[in-house]
Amino acid sequence: MASRWLQPEALVWGGRLQRGVALAIAADGTCESAGQPPPDATVERLAGKLLLPGLVNAHSHAFQRLLRGRTQAPAPGRPQDDFWTWRETMYRAAAALDPEGVAVASRQCFLEMALAGITTVGEFHYLHHTPDGRPYDDPLELALRVVSAARDVGLRIHLLRVGYARSGFGAAPEPRQRRFYDPDPDTFLASVSALEQRFRPDPLVTVGAAPHSVRAVPRPWLEAVARARPGTVHMHVAEQPREVESCLAEHGRRPVELLDELGLLDARFTAVHAVHLAPHEIPLLGRSSICACPLTERDLGDGILPADGLATAGATLCIGTDGQSEIDPLGELRALEGHLRLQRGRRLVLPPTGEGLDGLARTLLEVGTRGGGRSLGLDVGRLAPGRPADLCAVDLTHSALAGAPEDGLLAAVVFSAPAAAVTDTWVQGQRVVQDGHHPHAEAAARDFRALCRRTFA
Ligand SMILES: [Zn+2]
């Protein structure tokens, strides 16, 4: 099979940084080998660039890209409720979007992800119906729009179809959540299966199930998910203290205790956030994935993930851009460690991978790549023979990286490179971003600005 070669200054291959080594990509878009290209090979030189596995964003709500800059002040008359402005603005955006609006917001968001080095997105999709809560003529309409937006941009997508039953335990129905609701768990799980069928022809699209949270679904829904055993199950877990309190009131158990009792906490399960854990809940999550969204958790004041305890317990850590207040996967990784430093009053909290300056950066890079792949049930996040050539390149000549030590290059990139230092992205061997430019960027931004004006007029 014909292969072509990428020749960067340095390459992360099999989890290790190597210099002077080129990557061979097979015609089917998988990695073939790393080494020296033969004399007659087709070689693309990436001078001054570091080639890495593409970053995996395991938790996104793409349409929330609309909220940026619109939630950083208290709502009139509600100075005590700092969450109110965010939630009201989110409902306003969610209520206003027609299918084209969903497509436009998603395209802008996914495009920004590609520019930041993200090659796979796990989209936690909860906008399903018309604004008055009826299904569209094609009940999968909005999910199809989101997936098309990701594929137009060039990303690999794992669509996590959300199940949502109620506004909370004992709470009155919230009319503005009508677009999210399914009548029963069988309808929810049937939609997951229908989406799987619909996308099966595209190997870059996969589907999982996402019961929204213990707040939004009652016990019978969780029991139905446990029986159905979907390939991936994602759920918001213990994001805020109020969620833990209402779970105790409804079930007499904390969220993680409840999920453990229901048999959901296996390798297919990802707990998103998991910020408010009791010490005995940490080992219960040891077989599962934990998706940290530290930049969103910081924006919302959620709290700090006990990532070191979870890693010690064996959990797989990954990252998500969640509310899109920033789309900066390297920033998410350094915040995961940085928040722990602020909390513990010391440095170097997460365990390093190997000795030397790059040890902790290797751990974090693994979180941002392979950890996300595991969470989404995908064979992505590590460059090795036969694995997808999902790649990103960092410009080592960027001013932020001037003077980086030879043996601390990954540390300089992970701890100090801005998202703009990422210059190129490939998905399944296909170029998505080249030298900081995506071919749809101008059109996507123009459409998105118009959508913002319409939505918040
Ligand atoms: Zn979320």
Per-residue pLDDT tens over the stretch 358-373: 999 999 999 999 999 9
Distance CA 299, CA 304 (A): 12
Which H or E run includes 7?
A: strand 3-13
pLDDT the model gives residue 2:
65
Cβ-contact 422, 374 below 8 angstroms: no
Q: Is 398 a catalytic residue?
A: no
**Is pLDDT at 339 greater than 70 in this prediction?**
yes
Cβ-contact 411, 360 below 8 angstroms: yes
Averaged pLDDT score across all residues of the chain: 96
For residues 157-176, average pLDDT: 93
pLDDT digit string, tens, across residues 276-296:
999 999 999 999 999 999 999
The rounded Å distance from CA 215 to ligand 1 centre is: 13
The rounded Å distance from CA 139 to ligand 1 centre is: 23
What's the whole-model pTM score?
A: 0.98
Cβ-contact 144, 404 below 8 angstroms: no
Neighbours of 425 (CB within 10 A): 27
pLDDT the model gives residue 271:
98
The rounded Å distance from CA 234 to ligand 1 centre is: 10
Q: Which of 273, 276, 398, 438 is catalytic?
A: 273
pLDDT the model gives residue 369:
98
pLDDT digit string, tens, across residues 297-314:
999 999 999 999 999 999
**Is pLDDT at 1 greater than 60 in this prediction?**
no
pLDDT the model gives residue 38:
94
Distance CA 304, CA 345 (A): 13
Residue 265: band (very low, low, confident or very high) from pLDDT cuts 50, 70, 90: very high
The rounded Å distance from CA 323 to ligand 1 centre is: 7
**Is pLDDT at 274 greater than 70 in this prediction?**
yes
The rounded Å distance from CA 62 to ligand 1 centre is: 10
Cβ-contact 108, 438 below 8 angstroms: no
Distance CA 107, CA 152 (A): 8
Do the strands 391-395 and 422-427 form a parallel or antiparallel pair, or are they unpaired? antiparallel
pLDDT the model gives residue 314:
98
The rounded Å distance from CA 280 to ligand 1 centre is: 24
User: Which one-letter amino acid corresponds to residue 447?
Assistant: D
Q: All domains of the chain, ordered by start, with CATH?
A: 3-53+388-441 (2.30.40.10), 55-375 (3.20.20.140)
Neighbours of 449 (CB within 10 A): 12
The rounded Å distance from CA 8 to ligand 1 centre is: 36
pLDDT above 70 as % of the chain: 100
For residues 130-153, average pLDDT: 97
Q: Which pair of tokens denotes residue 31?
A: 């990695």
The rounded Å distance from CA 402 to ligand 1 centre is: 36
Q: Which of 322, 390, 395, 424 is catalytic?
A: 322
Residue 78: band (very low, low, confident or very high) from pLDDT cuts 50, 70, 90: confident
The rounded Å distance from CA 5 to ligand 1 centre is: 38
Do the strands 3-13 and 42-53 form a parallel or antiparallel pair, or are they unpaired? parallel
Q: Which pair of tokens denotes residue 313?
A: 């317990």
Distance CA 291, CA 305 (A): 10
Q: Is 302 a catalytic residue?
A: no
